[in-house]
Amino acid sequence: MLKQPNPRDEWTPGTKLWVVIVGAASALEAFGLWYDAKHPGNRRKWTLTSNARTAAGFDSVTGEALDVPLGRLRRSALVMALAWLGYHWTRKGGEF
């Protein structure tokens, strides 16, 4: 049985900002996926995944770990951020 929404919930200017941010990110990701499909194996960073891999010390195309400054720390930070995101999205209440 579904619960009724709380009547005190309200939309804010922050809600509109989040819609704009998510919309822009979705458009950028769609372009990146289209670009990667047209140019397989390219080294241009358009998608969130290719940028996150590069920032974390992985090769953006193959996903292999690279010898970069603070590589282990950067890769560990990515793994911890992804673990936190999974926890954040599945926990009741949604807060940290």
Q: What is the pLDDT of residues 21-67, one digit of tens each?
A: 999 999 999 999 999 999 998 899 999 999 999 999 999 888 899 99
pTM over 0.95: no
Q: Which 8-state DSSP code applies to residue 67?
A: -
> What pLDDT sits at residue 94?
55
- Burial class of residue 57 in the structure, from the number of CB atoms within 10 Å of its CB (0-12 exposed, 13-18 middle, 19+ buried): buried
pLDDT confidence band for 93 (50 / 70 / 90):
low
Q: What is the residue extent of each domain of the chain? A: 17-38+45-90
